[in-house]
Amino acid sequence: MGGPTNVGPTTSDERRTTNDYHVFVRVAVPVPGLDLLTYAVPEGMIAPALGARVVVPLGSRSLTGIVIEVAQASSVPDGKGIKPLKSVLDTDPFIPSDVVELARWTAEYYAAGPGEAITAVLPPKTRDERADAHKTSRVVSLTAAGTDPDVKVTTRQREALDVLAGAAEGVSSVELARRGVSADIVSRLQRAGLVVVREARVDRDPFAAASLEATPVDPLRALTPEQDAGLERLLELSRAGTFKAALLHGVTGSGKTELYLRLSAAVRDAGRRVLMLVPEIALTPQVAALFRQTFHERVAIQHSGLSDGERHDQWQRIRRGEVDVVVGTRSAVFSPLRDVGLIIVDEEHDNSYKQDESPRYNGRDVALVRAQKAGALAVLGSATPSMETYFNAMNGKYDRIVLERRVMDRPLASVTVVDMREEYAAEGPDVILSRALRDGIAARVERGEQSIVLLNRRGFATAVFCRQCSGTIDCSNCDVSLVVHGEGAARWARCHYCNYSTRVPNVCPTCKAPYLEQMGFGTERVEAQVKKQCPDARVARLDRDSTRRKGSLVALLAKFRAGEIDVLVGTQMIAKGHDFPRVTLVGVVSADVGLGMADFRASERTFQLLTQVAGRAGRGETPGEAVVQTIYPTHYSILLACHQDYAAFYEREMLFRKAMRYPPLVSLINTVVRAKTLAAAMDDASQIVAQMRQQDPAMTHYRVLGPAPAPLGKLRGEYRVQLLVKGTNRRKMRETLVAIVNGRPELARRTLIDVDPLSVL
Is 483 a residue that touches Zn ion (CB under 5 A)? no
Q: State the nearest-atom distance from the C-beta of 26 to ligand ADP, in Å.
A: 43
For strands 273-277 and 340-346, give the pairing.
parallel
Position 391: which residue type?
F
Give the three-class secondary structure for 371.
helix
Q: How far is the CB of 555 from ligand ADP (least distance, A)?
A: 21
Shortest distance, CB of residue 714 to Zn ion, whole angstroms? 9
Among 231, 407, 528, 558, binds ligand ADP (CB under 6 A): 407
Among 11, 97, 224, 294, the residue binding ligand ADP under the rule CB under 6 A is 224
Q: Residue 442's Cα: distance from chain center in Å?
A: 35
Q: Is it true that the peptide bond before 664 is cis, omega within 30 degrees of 0?
A: yes
> Does 495 help bind Zn ion (rule: CB under 5 A)?
yes
Choosing from 254, 284, 590, 629, the residue that interacts with ligand ADP (CB under 6 A) is 254
For residue 759, state whether it binds Zn ion (rule: CB under 5 A).
Answer: no
Member of 152, 221, 296, 548 binding ligand ADP (CB under 6 A): 221
For the beta carbon of residue 396, count every other beta carbon within 10 angstroms. 8
Nearest CB to ligand ADP, comparing residues 310 and 350: 350
DSSP SS3 for 348: coil
Pairing of strands 667-675, 718-727: antiparallel
Instruction: Tell me if 256 contacts ligand ADP by CB under 6 A.
Output: yes
Quick one: three-class SS letters along 709-738? EEEEEEECCEEEEEEEEEECCHHHHHHHHH
| Residue 347 Cβ vs ligand ADP, minimum distance, rounded to whole Å | 9
Query: Which option in ligand ADP, Zn ion, none does residue 475 bind, with CB closer than 5 to 8 A by kind?
Result: Zn ion
b/e map 735-748, b = 16+ CB within 10 Å? ebbbebbeeeeebe
Draw the binding track, 586-615, toward ligand ADP (x: CB under 6 A; -: no contact): ------------------------------
**Of the residues 67, 246, 368, 478, which one makes contact with Zn ion according to CB under 5 A:** 478
Residue 556 vs residues 290, 397, 560, 726: alpha-carbon distances, Å? 19, 41, 6, 43
User: Rule CB under 6 A: is residue 255 a binding residue for ligand ADP?
Assistant: yes
Amino acid at 387: M
Q: DSSP 3-state assignment of 494?
A: strand
Q: Which stretch binds Zn ion (CB under 5 A): 258-266, 291-299, 495-503, 672-680?
A: 495-503
SS (H, E, C) 508-544: CCCCCCCCEEEECCCHHHHHHHHHHHCCCCCEEEECC
Q: Which of 71, 116, 64, 115 is nearest to 85 (CA)?
A: 64
Task: By CB under 6 A, name the one of 579, 599, 683, 718 that touches ligand ADP.
Answer: 579
Asked whether 106 and 729 are in contact (CB, 8 A), the reply is: no
> Does 475 contact Zn ion by CB under 5 A?
yes
* Interacting partner of 258 out of ligand ADP, Zn ion, none (Cβ under 5 to 8 A depending on kind): ligand ADP
Q: Which of 477, 533, 691, 742 binds Zn ion (CB under 5 A)?
A: 477
Q: How many residues are present in the chain?
A: 761
CB 280 within 8 A of CB 353: no
Interacting span for ligand ADP (CB under 6 A) from 127-135, 255-263, 434-442, 631-639 = 255-263
What does 495 bind: ligand ADP, Zn ion, none (CB cut-off 5 to 8 Å by kind)?
Answer: Zn ion
293 sits near ligand ADP (criterion: CB under 6 A)? no
Count of residues that bind ligand ADP according to CB under 6 A: 14
**500 touches Zn ion by CB under 5 A:** yes
Q: Name the one range near Zn ion by CB under 5 A: 179-187, 497-505, 601-609, 676-684.
A: 497-505
Cβ proximity of 379 and 231 under 8 Å = no
Beta carbon of residue 407, minimum distance to ligand ADP (angstroms, whole number)? 4
Interface with ligand ADP (CB under 6 A), residue from 157, 257, 362, 382: 257
* Nearest CB to ligand ADP, comparing residues 30 and 255: 255
CB of 676 vs Zn ion, minimal distance in Å: 16
Long-range contacts (CB closer than 8 Å, 24 or more residues apart) made by 596-599: 597/761, 598/711, 598/761, 599/759, 599/760, 599/761
- Least distance CB 410 / ligand ADP (angstroms): 8
The distance from CA 139 to its chain's CA centroid, rounded to whole angstroms, is 36
C-alpha dihedral over 246, 248, 249, 253, to 10 degrees? -170
Q: How far is the CB of 252 from ligand ADP (least distance, A)?
A: 5
Cα–Cα distance list, 564 to 75, 510, 536, 540 (Å): 67, 47, 13, 10
| Under rule CB under 6 A, residue 252 binds ligand ADP | yes
The angle formed by the CA atoms of residues 185, 190 and 192, to the nearest 5 degrees, is 100
What, of Zn ion, ligand ADP, none, does residue 256 touch, CB below 5 to 8 Å by kind?
ligand ADP
- 245-253, 438-446, 473-481, 588-596 -> range binding Zn ion (CB under 5 A): 473-481
Rule CB under 5 A: which residues touch Zn ion? 475, 477-478, 495, 497-498, 500
Rule CB under 6 A: which residues touch ligand ADP? 221, 223-224, 227, 250, 252-258, 407, 579
